Structure 1
Amino acid sequence: MAAAVFSHGGAAPAFAQAQSQQEGIDYAQWDRDASRAEKVLAEGKATTPAFDTLRSELVDWRTRFLDAQNINSSRIKTLRDQISALGDPPAEGESEPKEIAQRRAELTKQLNQAQAPSLKAVEAYSRADGLIREIDQTIRERQADQLLKLGPSPVNPVNWPAGLIAIRGTLVEVGNEIAANWDNPNARASLRSGLPVTLLFLTLAGLLTVRGRRWMEILSDFLAQRGRGRGRTLFSGIASLGQIVVPTLGIVLLAGALKSSAMLGLRSERLVQMLPMLGLTVFTAGWLGGRVFAQLGVSHAILTLPPERRSEGRFNSWILGLILALAMLAREAGKVEEYPAEAVAVLTFPILLLAGLMLSRMGQLLLVHVRADTAEGPEERSYRNRVAAFFGRAAIGAGLIGPLLGAVGYAEAGDFFVYPSIMTLALVGFLLLLQRFVTDIYAVLMGRDVEDPENGGDLIPVLIGMILALLALPVLALIWGARVADLTELWARFTAGYSIGGTRISPTSFLTFVVVFTLGYALTRLLQGMLRSTVLPKTKIDPGGQTALISGVGYIGIFLAGVVSVTTAGIDLSSLAIVAGALSVGIGFGLQTIVQNFVSGIILLIERPVSQGDWIEVGGVMGIVKDISVRSTRIQTFDRTDVIVPNADLIAGQVTNWTRQNLTGRVILKVGVAYGSDTRQVEKILMEIGESHPLVMVNPAPLVVFQGFGPDALEFELRVILRDINYGLSVRTELNHEIARRFAEEGFEIPFAQRDIWLRNPETLGDRPAARTQAPGPFLPRQSAEPQPEPLDDLGGDADGDGGDGPR
């Protein structure tokens, strides 16, 4: 019968499935491509673009291998579960039933066959990944070598003629191309036929380029000054984008007009194609400087600068835009004309020098802002000012180091210091504007005034700003020389996941974990709310028990949500058990107090010796229990202060709970009467006072105790049991008032402390030397020259030194 049970199923389905999945990958072609890549890497003679092409091919292979690693995953899990169901294999020297041994061997064979395609994909993935790493390493080494390459010095007069010859040669070639086209009858015919369109384009280009930006600036200032509503500065900012779009459109029309003239040659046409990008660079820099150093048009100033410094910042921004455009034009001209190294160094160094100068000036403006802003708010803006000061000093340093390196001959290193620094400052300025824009949008949506100084203090705009800063990190990496392939490689590794303890955790599994845990947490809170508002109020459970039950449901729900989310995400934590066990020892020693309080909190919620709303006294602290958490208990004293008591103190220490079982409690009032008073009458009056109060219980009845004969009075105690001890203080006050009134009516005197002082040998006071009798000072008691009668009755003093005038 056992054989019949274990005989169903076979290896054929799994093997057929593996074969069908494996047919999608041509491993023979992969082996050829991998061998070719290894040969190219071994030679190391390929160009960087060739390496990039080879790398893209390997990335495609690696992606296919990564997908193939999940082949037969469901079948593999099923086979492993089946093998586990058979129990542990027999130990050495032992045996198991024949049917089970045969079934174990059959399932093991199927498991090996099912794992074969995925294991082959894993091996191929490792090979492709290793080749990609080698290519990236080779390219990075080439970039480092290029950065440290020493070229001709631009300050050497010997190299100056090469630059002049190169630029003159380019101008001559462009002029020759235009002259050749002008001499061509077909080109002139094309010019005449397209002259109206060319003139129209030139006219529009002139208007949009020369006047368009000014029109948009007037519109933006109008909206900022005379606009209505909360969002006038917001609309002004949106309108200011026209300062980029409109003049750039004019440059595009200019390039189109030049192309339509049919007079351009190969060199001039490539240069004309760059005009829109150059214009976009210049106008974007001008717009960015106009917004960051704006007088109007933003809800709050980005930088704390005086008006003259703001004007300087806007001017510097325009100059930096022109410098970047010239650098791009010089780089492109050098590629087109294939200038010699000397010519490139001579032509690019003045641009680099001017760029370094303007970069240093921008850094100085940042330091001026830091000094002015620190004077206004040194505590609130300290972190922001430290960051701004860092950028300012870094800009000044880069502006000085870059031209020096370029002058020596390290042109690439000089460019690396200056131009990425300029782009970094531009990126930071753009992020500040974007964050201000988001804050203004949020203020308008919330119905607030955009120019309100309190605007921007909410959490949501701050979080959005942080997200924008994170999204800008890839752009920052590209600015500082990172390749797009580097970013895509990081993204590929992130999406592929990371192996931790034999378990691969990918963004998909993490997202599944977050979604499932969030749903579980939401369901837990929903159940807690239903219990708190609907179910528990209809039961006879006291408020403290209801709170304990709701807290217990919350803890269990969160624990189950965590377990279910981990299981659903497919995260296998069994391989981490040993590591977790080792860490738990160290964590246990370090967090033993926290664990002790946690366990004590669970005990408090289960046994409930102390509940929410109880009046307790622990460790010299008396108050009402307001909240019991897993680590501590919050007690509100009668001074309306909150005291946090660790739960371990409530479990291990001595706790007085005045209201745990019931609200009844005893109040004892002590009172004394003068000697000679009628003790029976005093007892009767005290009993009447106690029985007359509405909060005093009749059963047990009040009790009057004649305690004894004190040094100053006959001592009595009135002991009463209250229905609600929470009113003990007010009842004590009312009973004392009533005792004072009744005793005054009955003529009973409540004495205060009296002492008789006897002076021995008073005659010696008169025999003291006159030198010692002096006027009393601040620390000398007043003394009399004549002896005083004895005894002296100090009826109102404090002879006993107790600091009081009688019993309280």
Structure 2
Amino acid sequence: MTLRTFVRSLWLVLFLLLGVAAIPAGAQEEAAEADPVVVLDQQAAELAAIQKAAEAETTSAEKAELRDRGMVAGSTANMAVAQLVPRLAEIDARIAELGPVLEDEAPDVKAQRERLDAERTDLDSTIKRGRLVAADAKEMIDRMIREINEAFNRDTFKKVASPLSPALWSDVAASLADDLARLRDFVVVSVLGASKAHFGSRLALVAAGLGLALLLLMPVRRGLRQVGRRIAVEQVPGTRARRSALALWFVLVGTFTSALAFLILFQALNWGGFLTRWTRPLAETLSITASIGGFMVSLGAGLLLVGQPSWRLAPLTEETAKRLRPYPGLGAILTFVGVFLIESGKAVGVSEAAAIFLNYVVAFSYSALLAALLITLMRHRRAAAQEAGAEPSAQTTFVTLATLLGWCAVAVALVAALQGYVNFALFLSRQAIWTAIVAAATYLLLIVADDLCTTFLSPESRLGRSLQAGLGLRRTQVGQLGVIASALLRLAILVVAAILLSGPLGPGASSLFYQFGNSAEIQIGGFSIVPGSILKAAVVLFVGIALMRAVRHWLNERYLPATDLDPGARNSVSTIVSYAGILLAGFWALSTLGIGVERIALVVSALSVGIGFGLQAITQNFVSGLILLAERPVKIGDTVRLGTDEGEVRRISVRSTEIQIADRSTLIVPNSELITKSIRNMTMANPLGRIQIGFSAPLDVDVAAVRRALLDILAAHETILEDPAPSVFIDGIEDGKVAFKAFAFVASPRTVYSTRSAIYFTLLERFKAEEIKLVVA
């Protein structure tokens, strides 16, 4: 792994994350139109050339190139085989139409059968040869990856003299004179040794290129930013998309003006003849690094937006944004200086001791920058927490975890460097910086993607209204479409970010896993487990559960609220998705351990008897929970009565159901109780609540006045529904008393008790005022 690979990878992520990478589809279309047999012959020859080149001594970069060529050869061979398989099936169908071979078969049928058999034999042989080419390509790819990993591990974990030992400094001092001589020769021959012919015109070309670069970096960049801000303020509606689009515009403008400026300067030096074959690769690397620095500065400015708190995407205070403003620039400068020192040392050809010393300087500088950034974040997070006094949220927990990992990376890098593992310290510090860049860019793109999708695909937008009118979609369906589009786009961004985090700095984590993967296997009851697989399975399980929780959070907070589903249905969907995600994560982790599904089924079948007897109640509740979630006889928000307990259903899981009763306590009921026993659901078919008012009056009472007063009281109460209308009846005449019954309805059974009490209060006051007497039954 070289620093040039690191820089080129940074340049690659700049285009991938900002969506300007072009897809080379022309070559694929051309390969699809070619004859598959010819394509297989070409790929077989290509694979033979790759295998021959692999036998020679190659560097890691050359091995990576051979790996990429092998991938292309294998995928092309698979495509060709996929085109030949339908032909083979067609020939088989034609042979089947001829029927079985007969002794007195007609000559033309016999000739056709022989021709088809010959074609089938040739085609089957070609398909097998193509599959063999693909298999050989895969074997070659695995071999190259294995050798790259081995070289990465060998270089990364190479131990050199520690900066705490006198050996390093004595070697640097001993080779200092020779290194200075090499540097002087490099400057004289490679830098000052350019042709002096037409020096004035060539210098004018470089001056013009420098002036154009400065023009792009200063007035053009500032002008484009002002134009974007003016358009956003004056012409764009005040939505979330305006804020995120302006931040993205700032990043794009800063990035591409910087990249174009440094490209122009490099080309001016090259066309002016000031670059030699020794300095041209160094200048190219430095121009790319400077462009990446422009991207880092623009990304920091777009996220922080110092002085514009209302437009800021990140949840930062103005004071925190001011404190963080210098770090993108410092990171860009430090990255450029680090690349310059290491690549210049390689170009000059300094001694090994000097190269180690330069690596130490860069590694310690990266670690110091990361430590300063983490200290600044910790101070302001502590101050913000003390000022707000709020409980930690999931977001703050994630930030805390990221900060802890950052401190671990800094500590491990420093300890490794002091122990003499400078290459590992350099790799770890670069990986931390790379992770910060990708995380910041991903954060920006996630917000932009969500804001743009939910804004342009909202029911109130022009596109949303067009979809409603043209496709007959409902408003909620348009909102769901925006949420789903946002989720898919953000998922694609996260996938690209994950690929970029694992790939650009060399084999990275995969190489570390490969170290454990070479360990001896452990046999446990017929299972072969590699220690490295245990680590992979743990990571896979963690990632699977984290993905499940993210999907559930998205369902609960974004998608399901945009649907027409009631809270009970939302809970059912969310719960089922959660448990399905846990099962999939478990199977994924077990397969990573090398335990196949068939072995899992064998173990489950062996334990089925014990599960049936020992866990019968749990199994019964689990199945009952699935029935509740599917049939939904009881759902979230229902008012139910079990025996003497009445309350509202708060939560339904696969084992139990939580019901909040009148005294605000929670009744936990096993799901089997809700399936196998009688339960009264007072809001299942009709959510209305019925109020019954009963009292008795003397026989000589004015029944019309009583009826009129009671209907007035019921009609005047705000919670009593007009439909069904309240009604008053005489329930009976007995023992010199008239028994009255009144019925009314409210919107929910939960308000029955309080409404009935309020009506009784009003009834007694009015009857007293109208001198209507009541008698005790």
Structure 2 length normalisation: TM-score?
A: 0.55
- Equivalent in 312, 317, 335 of residue 300 of structure 1: 312
- The match for 1:798 is none
Distance in structure 2 (CA, Å) of the matches to 1:386 and 1:291: 24
Question: Which one is further off, 197-206 or 319-328?
Answer: 197-206
Distance in structure 2 (CA, Å) of the matches to 1:167 and 1:118: 62
Instruction: Classify 1:440/1:263 alpha carbon distance in 2 versus 1 (closer, same or farther; 3 Å).
Output: same
Q: How far is the alpha carbon of 1:413 from its aligned partner?
A: 0.8
- The match for 2:621 is 593
Instruction: Classify 1:724/1:77 alpha carbon distance in 2 versus 1 (closer, same or farther; 3 Å).
Output: farther
- The match for 2:678 is 653
Q: How far is the alpha carbon of 1:34 from its aligned partner?
A: 7.7
- Equivalent in 191, 194, 216 of residue 199 of structure 2: 191
- The match for 2:643 is 619
Q: How far is the alpha carbon of 1:24 from its aligned partner?
A: 6.2
- The match for 1:509 is none
Question: Is the contact made by 1:201 and 1:253 (CA closer than 8 Å) also made in structure 2?
Answer: yes
Question: Is the contact made by 2:621 and 2:672 (CA closer than 8 Å) also made in structure 1?
Answer: no
**Unmatched tracts of structure 1, length 5 or more:** 1-20, 84-105, 449-457, 487-525, 530-546, 556-574, 673-681, 707-715, 751-806
Are 2:400 and 1:372 equivalent residues in the alignment? no
- The match for 1:176 is 189
- Equivalent in 50, 55, 58 of residue 67 of structure 2: 55
One-letter amino acid of the counterpart of residue 399, structure 2: A
Distance in structure 2 (CA, Å) of the matches to 1:122 and 1:436: 44
- Equivalent in 173, 178, 183 of residue 160 of structure 1: 173
Q: How far is the alpha carbon of 1:277 from its aligned partner?
A: 1.6
Relative to its length, the structure with more helix (as a share) is 2
- The match for 1:416 is 427
Q: Secondary structure at the match of 2:186?
A: helix
Looking at both structures, which has the greater relative contact order when contacts are Cα pairs under 8 Å and sequence separation is at least 6?
2
Question: Is the contact made by 1:258 and 1:264 (CA closer than 8 Å) also made in structure 2?
Answer: yes
- The match for 1:331 is 342
- The match for 2:209 is 201
Distance in structure 2 (CA, Å) of the matches to 1:719 and 1:279: 94
- The match for 1:532 is none
One-letter amino acid of the counterpart of residue 138, structure 1: E
Instruction: Classify 1:410/1:666 alpha carbon distance in 2 versus 1 (closer, same or farther; 3 Å).
Output: closer
What is the number of equivalent residue pairs in this alignment? Answer: 578
Question: Is the contact made by 2:247 and 2:303 (CA closer than 8 Å) also made in structure 1?
Answer: no
Listed as ranges, the matches of 1:531-680 within 5 Å are 589=616, 590-593=618-621, 595-596=623-624, 619-620=643-644, 649=674, 652-653=677-678
Listed as ranges, the matches of 1:742-761 within 5 Å are none
Question: Is the contact made by 2:46 and 2:73 (CA closer than 8 Å) also made in structure 1?
Answer: no
One-letter amino acid of the counterpart of residue 199, structure 2: L
- Equivalent in 399, 403, 406 of residue 392 of structure 1: 403
Instruction: Classify 1:195/1:421 alpha carbon distance in 2 versus 1 (closer, same or farther; 3 Å).
Output: closer
Q: How far is the alpha carbon of 1:256 from its aligned partner?
A: 3.4
Q: How far is the alpha carbon of 1:342 from its aligned partner?
A: 1.6
Distance in structure 2 (CA, Å) of the matches to 1:302 and 1:666: 53
Once the two structures are superposed, residues 357-413 of structure 1 have per-residue CA deviations (whole angstroms, 9 ceiling, x without a partner) of 112101111212321332345656533223323333443443454355345432211
Once the two structures are superposed, residues 233-279 of structure 1 have per-residue CA deviations (whole angstroms, 9 ceiling, x without a partner) of 85476346544444554433433333343344332333333342232
- Equivalent in 139, 145, 149 of residue 154 of structure 2: 145
Question: Is the contact made by 2:228 and 2:246 (CA closer than 8 Å) also made in structure 1?
Answer: no
Distance in structure 2 (CA, Å) of the matches to 1:174 and 1:717: 120
Once the two structures are superposed, residues 677-708 of structure 1 have per-residue CA deviations (whole angstroms, 9 ceiling, x without a partner) of xxxxx88989999999999999xx965556xx
Instruction: Classify 1:669/1:414 alpha carbon distance in 2 versus 1 (closer, same or farther; 3 Å).
Output: closer
- Equivalent in 245, 265, 280 of residue 291 of structure 2: 280
Q: Secondary structure at the match of 1:274?
A: helix
- The match for 1:133 is 142
Question: Is the contact made by 2:289 and 2:336 (CA closer than 8 Å) also made in structure 1?
Answer: yes
Once the two structures are superposed, residues 621-653 of structure 1 have per-residue CA deviations (whole angstroms, 9 ceiling, x without a partner) of 68999xx99999999999999999979658742
Instruction: Classify 1:38/1:684 alpha carbon distance in 2 versus 1 (closer, same or farther; 3 Å).
Output: same
Instruction: Classify 1:160/1:291 alpha carbon distance in 2 versus 1 (closer, same or farther; 3 Å).
Output: farther
One-letter amino acid of the counterpart of residue 51, structure 1: K
Question: Is the contact made by 1:405 and 1:411 (CA closer than 8 Å) also made in structure 2?
Answer: yes
Q: How far is the alpha carbon of 1:475 from its aligned partner?
A: 1.5
Q: Secondary structure at the match of 1:267?
A: coil
Q: How far is the alpha carbon of 1:658 from its aligned partner?
A: 14
One-letter amino acid of the counterpart of residue 55, structure 1: R
Instruction: Classify 1:212/1:331 alpha carbon distance in 2 versus 1 (closer, same or farther; 3 Å).
Output: farther
Instruction: Classify 1:78/1:636 alpha carbon distance in 2 versus 1 (closer, same or farther; 3 Å).
Output: farther
Once the two structures are superposed, residues 467-521 of structure 1 have per-residue CA deviations (whole angstroms, 9 ceiling, x without a partner) of 53443111211255338999xxxxxxxxxxxxxxxxxxxxxxxxxxxxxxxxxxx
Q: Secondary structure at the match of 1:430?
A: helix
Question: Is the contact made by 1:304 and 1:373 (CA closer than 8 Å) also made in structure 2?
Answer: no
Question: Is the contact made by 1:617 and 1:656 (CA closer than 8 Å) also made in structure 2?
Answer: yes
Question: Is the contact made by 1:69 and 1:119 (CA closer than 8 Å) also made in structure 2?
Answer: no
Once the two structures are superposed, residues 171-217 of structure 1 have per-residue CA deviations (whole angstroms, 9 ceiling, x without a partner) of 43332345544xx6xx42x33444544443343345555x4489469
Percent identity, aligned pairs only, is 15
Structure 1 length normalisation: TM-score?
A: 0.53
Q: How far is the alpha carbon of 1:289 from its aligned partner?
A: 3.8
Instruction: Classify 1:733/1:639 alpha carbon distance in 2 versus 1 (closer, same or farther; 3 Å).
Output: farther
Instruction: Classify 1:334/1:435 alpha carbon distance in 2 versus 1 (closer, same or farther; 3 Å).
Output: same
Once the two structures are superposed, residues 308-358 of structure 1 have per-residue CA deviations (whole angstroms, 9 ceiling, x without a partner) of x65553333323212211222233334434433222112332232222211
Distance in structure 1 (CA, Å) of the matches to 2:648 and 2:414: 72
Distance in structure 1 (CA, Å) of the matches to 2:684 and 2:700: 31
Distance in structure 1 (CA, Å) of the matches to 2:693 and 2:416: 91
Instruction: Classify 1:213/1:168 alpha carbon distance in 2 versus 1 (closer, same or farther; 3 Å).
Output: farther
**Unmatched tracts of structure 2, length 5 or more:** 1-34, 97-112, 462-481, 512-562, 574-595, 712-725, 747-751
Listed as ranges, the matches of 1:223-622 within 5 Å are 230=238, 231=242, 235=246, 238-239=249-250, 241-297=252-308, 299-300=311-312, 302=314, 304=316, 307=319, 310-377=321-388, 379=390, 382-437=393-448, 463=487, 468-482=493-507, 589=616, 590-593=618-621, 595-596=623-624, 619-620=643-644
Q: How far is the alpha carbon of 1:144 from its aligned partner?
A: 1.0
Question: Is the contact made by 2:77 and 2:134 (CA closer than 8 Å) also made in structure 1?
Answer: yes
Question: Is the contact made by 1:705 and 1:718 (CA closer than 8 Å) also made in structure 2?
Answer: yes
Distance in structure 2 (CA, Å) of the matches to 1:25 and 1:313: 55
Distance in structure 2 (CA, Å) of the matches to 1:46 and 1:302: 46
